[in-house]
Amino acid sequence: MGATKTDHFTESQNELAVLAKAIGHPARIAIIEYLLKVDACICGDIVNELPLSQPTVSQHLKELKNAGLIKGSIEGNSICYCINEPGLEKIKGFFEHISAHLAKKKNECC
């Protein structure tokens, strides 16, 4: 089928899945890492940093934006992209939650 049965899962589970899925591609990780490295909004530089064509990069940027992981604003000729903190905080919270659980675990098996 190819279509995820989102109806049967909680909103939280679906929300996290969308975020994780958006991160689940090396090009999109590279974009996030680059935005962190330059430590600022950047205008028109991302395409040159990636080993992919301009339309493909544009598509990845769109996906990251849709997932709420980055944001972009028009800056004259070009577009200024940067990290969208709330999105990253949300998924980070999930792993902190997991870590807290694991810390309490007695490791009695496996």
79 is an interface residue for a second copy by CB under 8 A? no
Going through 1-110 in order, the beta strands assigned E by DSSP cover 42-43, 70-75, 78-83
The answer to whether residues 35 and 42 touch, using CB atoms and an 8 Å cutoff, is yes
Query: Across-strand partners of 72?
Result: 81
For DNA, the binding residue among 19, 31, 35, 61 (CB under 7 A) is: 61
56 is an interface residue for DNA by CB under 7 A? yes
40 is an interface residue for a second copy by CB under 8 A? yes
Interaction partner, residue 66 (a second copy, DNA, none; CB < 5-8 Å by kind): none
